[in-house]
Amino acid sequence: MVRWEPGATDRLREAALDLYVEQGYDDTTVAQIAERAGVTARTFFRHFADKREVLFRGSEFLADGMVAGVRDAPDGAAPLDAIGLALESAAATLGVDHAYAKRRMSVIYANPELMERELIKMARLGDALAEALQARGVGPTEARLAAEAGIAVFRTGFDRWVAGPRGDDLAQVLADSMERLRALS
Amino acid sequence: MVRWEPGATDRLREAALDLYVEQGYDDTTVAQIAERAGVTARTFFRHFADKREVLFRGSEFLADGMVAGVRDAPDGAAPLDAIGLALESAAATLGVDHAYAKRRMSVIYANPELMERELIKMARLGDALAEALQARGVGPTEARLAAEAGIAVFRTGFDRWVAGPRGDDLAQVLADSMERLRALS
């Protein structure tokens, strides 16, 4: 019988992030993470497939929410307006824990392998958004351009939010980045 | 003394691409490529570091040309206009051999590892373009948004050109994609 430890997922995530920041991602082992969290390595593997998944768990929720934002946009909404709703959904998912986001991104930017993983995640997100726009009747070229412009706004805005002070509202920073992109055109 | 075979680089590239298309990238060895090109494996390694480099050699020229396009844009050119000049430079570099581009992209899209490499190449290109825009006095947020929008236009337009008939002009397809992005905003 597998015993379920309440809160172990959060404890493991906190312990992992602490260690990644303190001593680097590459030099951190699953055994160290488990020890810091006060559980066994076996328990770690009941919660995460490996030490990388600690940083990327939840990507599907983000993508699903953003795709739903596009899908549920009002009839006749312009492609970039639908993308704007996807960004609002992203802000609702990611905007709650500034300290966590800041530490997570510092670990990812310090490690080329993790940065690649993050890029792939963003590329998949772009594909999913383009597909959702096409399902609304947007042509394939416009759908891809709008989706990738949305990813550009998302990445630029998210990094600005992470670099900024704790009280900033992610939804607002993303909306401002979208406005700046529109103003460029 | 190293003997230099005239045209060996081109022969090796053609042989490699033929084999990647025929039997898949993963199942192709350097020995097979060299044999098909009529040279030794040692000669292959005088021209390319490994079988992946056959597909990615020249990325620096593309990036250098695009960065120069931004740098040499007229004083006061808007960020997206400077990016448009970078796209013209890219078209001059890449637009000459449609058959090669088509086969290269089919190999890359069929292989996740190569696709990752291509994504990383595009991310670096975006960073270089953003830096070049900042050197022109564009603010960091606008520079990044314009650069990443430029990458979105480049990828979308390039894929459209590759999928289209042989006679199409890459510069025109890229300019059309840029117009469509502007029209979205």
**Cα gap A135→B38, rounded to integer Å:** 50
Question: Angle, nearest 10°, between helix axes B79-94 and B112-135?
Answer: 130
Domain with CATH 1.10.357.10 in chain A: 58-184
Q: Is B134 on the interface with A (CB under 8 A)?
A: no
Contact yes or no for B34/B12 (Cβ under 8 A): yes
Asked if CATH classification 1.10.357.10 holds for the domain at B58-184, the reply, yes or no, is yes
At B69, which amino acid appears?
Answer: G
Please tell me the distance from the alpha carbon of residue B53 to that of residue B37, in angstroms, as a whole number: 16
The rounded distance, in Å, linking the Cα atoms of B158 and B2 is 38
Q: Each residue of B72-122: pLDDT tens digit?
A: 999 999 999 999 999 999 999 998 899 999 999 999 999 999 999 999 999
Q: Where in chain B is the domain with CATH 1.10.10.60?
A: 8-54
Provide the pLDDT for residue A141. Answer: 96
Q: What is the residue-level pLDDT of chain A in tens, covering all 185 positions? A: 455 566 889 999 999 999 999 999 999 999 999 999 999 999 999 999 999 999 998 888 999 999 999 999 999 999 999 999 999 999 999 988 999 999 999 999 999 999 999 999 999 999 999 999 999 999 999 999 999 999 999 999 999 999 999 999 999 999 999 999 999 98
ipTM for the assembly? 0.89
- Location of structure tokens 């890359």: B108
Kindly state the tokens that stand for A166: 């704790």
CB contact under 8 A, B156 and A145: yes
> What per-residue confidence (pLDDT) applies to B1?
43
- Please give the CATH number for the structural domain made up of A8-54: 1.10.10.60
A3: which DSSP letter?
A: P
Return d(Cα A126, Cα A37) in angstroms, integer: 35
**Amino acid code (one letter) for A177:** S
Task: State the burial class of residue B7 (Cβ atoms within 10 Å of its Cβ: 0-12, 13-18, 19+).
Answer: exposed
Q: Hey, which residues 39-78 in chain A have their CB within 8 Å of chain B?
A: 78
Which residue in the set B80, B156, B160 is minimally distant from A184, CB to CB?
B80
The model carries a pTM of 0.91
| Residue B99 CB coordination number (10 Å) | 9
